[in-house]
Amino acid sequence: MVHECLKDIPVTRIKGVGPRKAALLKEAGIETIADLYDFFPRRYLDRRTVKAVGDLFEGEHATVTGKVKRIEKQAGRYGRARLKIQLIDKTGVLELVWFRGVSYFSSAFREGSTLMVHGRVGYFGRQPQMQHPEFEHLDLDAKEYAEGEIVPVYPSSEALKSAGLGSRGMRGIMKQALSDFPPLFRENLSEGVVRDYGLLPLNEAYRMMHFPSSPKMLDRALYRFKWSELFFAQLFFAMRRASGRADRTAVRFERSGSYTAALYRMLPYSMTDAQKKAVREIYRDLRSGQRMNRLLQGDVGSGKTLVAMFAVTLAADNGLQAAFMAPTEILAFQHYMVMRSYAEPLGLQTGFLGGRQQKKERLEMLERLEKGELHILVGTHAVIEEDVRFKKLGLAVIDEQHRFGVMQRKALRDKAGNPHVLLMTATPIPRTLSMGVFGDLDVTVIDKLPGGRKNIVTRCCRESDKSGVFRFLRQEVDQGRQAYIVYPLVEESEKMDLEAATESYVRLRDDLLKGIRAGLIHGQMSSREKERVMEAFRSGKLDLLVGTTVIEVGVDVPNATIMVIEHAERFGLAQLHQLRGRVGRGEHQSYCFLLHAKLGADASQRLSAMESTGDGFRLSEIDAALRGVGNVLGREQSGVMSGLKVADILKDYDIMRSARRAAFEIVERDPGLRESAHRIIREHYKKHYHGKYALADIG
């Protein structure tokens, strides 16, 4: 019994695991001995980390041991029962409370027994309390908790616990398995990698994960499994980049000419050093003869659109067309307005393609595009429809690219032989997420905002404070400033939300903000209507722009100083940050008011984060911590990182960097992993990772 055969041994071969327990283990994904070893503890109890009741403080997660003094089952409101237990040590009394599973838990304890509990500490008056804590009966297995012993705590459902497969039961099964079927897995890393990166051998790492002999050995085991996970994820990116080299040949942008020079001369301000660096990196790619596949990311207002415009003018200087694609018509139209404002003075022709254009207008646009009379085409996914033909497409710019599907991005690339691709995101992504999600892209970060900008004052306000907010808005308008009011638009109730926003606009115009020149903009309007309203606001003919989630990206009105977001609790953190970024672009102090109704815990944390920082990268980290990486970036976009069991890409940046370096160096030296030393890595990658990430091959 060696190596991979552990995958063929059913858990029923373990003493004490009969058909009933096996069925429950199967529900938890455990059918074989190998599955069992991959069922890692979710945390560990260490006697040295135990706190006394008298030393607890509000909000901390703590481990406490004590004796059960009193067990009390109480009737709660509306007939709901709750269970209260007093746990005492030499320094005080800790109250344990359960509101769910009361019948089960009330029979799980007895007075005088010794417990170890772990949970979040709350205080009610002077009484420390834990609600629904994790617990272990120390009396039943006192040897495990000898001074200094580290005890694994396994994930467990109510069904598993009822069958004796709670954390303690799982430890018993795991100990029996280690005795009868010790881990003898085949290494998945080469001997050189294990040695050079100081990694614990695989089988020893398995033993230490389940029953660590010391904190140091536990740390080494955790490091081994995190490093391995991240290594194979990064190996995917390294292999994808290597396999793509053959088809990365693209048109070489030979020269920088009159369009680029004219754009630089017309700028009313100096570019930031970060913008200049970004332009240099993009130019280097475009002149290389290899297809550019670069992600340009930066915070709100960092000047990404101008950087993209320099790439567009370089395409024009070389007789090539550029396509600019955004995920929604309103965002695409805003980009069109900005791009046109740059392009027209240069003599470059810009077209817009959306879903609500008149047929005649669309046909004229397509004819001009195919003849090469249009230098730049801006639009939504309409840009990739079959009847859209470019004369000579050389550059594709895709904004907020994670909101497009894989096949949509591929269709745009297929519009030309192999156009250069510049991906943009106005959602700052922490460096570790960026490395984990866009591992084979070249990433450019604009990490400096234009100088002279003031921090935006952000305030959370209840709906009852609305009249005061609007009085302040009127004062700003009276001083010559402009303002936005944004209403949420949720797909499931789009019509109702739109009606509510329209009614609110009319009420504001005729009542609270009477006399203020206001305009309404929303996604149901035609392109011409939107253009008319946006231009009126941009030119100062309107004081107030009211809209649904419409002014997220692309609007640049330096005179706008007030952003009011209605029902802010319904917006995500990234979207709130994008909306706030529509103000604060000029010399005057700007303000963002987050009006909210009743707040849940998550919404409260989001709005508090908005008040506490204006740093988009920091907010992105908070957002990922609150919602999870997959929810922040989308299931598809987080693809390669979604299967991680041990590593945390928000926290394990240093480990990821080490694993990435190893993966890319190996593939650089041996692209096909054909060398004998790399055969183990190649076989493990093909078996466990290659098919898993098959669709994630388009940047």
According to the per-residue pLDDT averaged within each range, which of 115-119, 366-370, 385-389, 552-556 is highest? 366-370
User: For residue 349, what pLDDT is reported?
Assistant: 95
Q: Which residues contact 78 (CB under 8 A, 6 or more apart)?
A: none
Identify which has the larger pLDDT, 270 or 640: 270
Measured distance CA(555)–CA(632) in Å, rounded: 23
Each residue of 54-73: pLDDT tens digit? 999 988 888 898 999 999 88
101-114 burial by CB neighbour count: b if 16+ within 10 A, else e? ebeebeebbeeeeb
User: Where exactly does CATH 2.40.50.140 map onto the chain?
Assistant: 43-153
Closest C-alpha among 175, 185, 178 to residue 228: 185
Each residue of 599-608: pLDDT tens digit? 777 788 889 9
Closest C-alpha among 510, 484, 480, 486 to residue 500: 486
Closest C-alpha among 148, 143, 135 to residue 218: 148
Closest C-alpha among 193, 157, 458 to residue 300: 458
Of the listed ranges 333-337, 412-416, 635-639, the least confidently predicted one is 635-639
As a CATH number, domain 457-613 is 3.40.50.300
Measured distance CA(520)–CA(178) in Å, rounded: 68
As a CATH number, domain 43-153 is 2.40.50.140
With H, G, I as helix, E, B as strand and everything else as coil, classify residue 401: helix
As a CATH number, domain 258-446 is 3.40.50.300
Contact 500, 487 (CB under 8 A): yes
For the segment 86-98, the average pLDDT, to the nearest whole number, is 93
User: For residue 1, what pLDDT is reported?
Assistant: 33
What is the secondary structure of 195-255 as a DSSP string?
A: HHTTPPPHHHHHHHHHS-SSHHHHHHHHHHHHHHHHHHHHHHHHHHHHHHSTT-B------
pLDDT greater than 50 at residue 2? no
User: For residue 694, what pLDDT is reported?
Assistant: 47
Cα torsion at 353, 306, 616, 278 (round to 10°)? 120
> Confidence band (pLDDT; 50, 70, 90) for 463?
confident
User: Where exactly does CATH 3.40.50.300 map onto the chain?
Assistant: 258-446, 457-613
User: For residue 541, what pLDDT is reported?
Assistant: 94
User: For residue 635, what pLDDT is reported?
Assistant: 47
pTM above 0.75? no
Closest C-alpha among 591, 611, 578 to residue 477: 591
User: For residue 509, what pLDDT is reported?
Assistant: 81
For the segment 432-441, the average pLDDT, to the nearest whole number, is 70
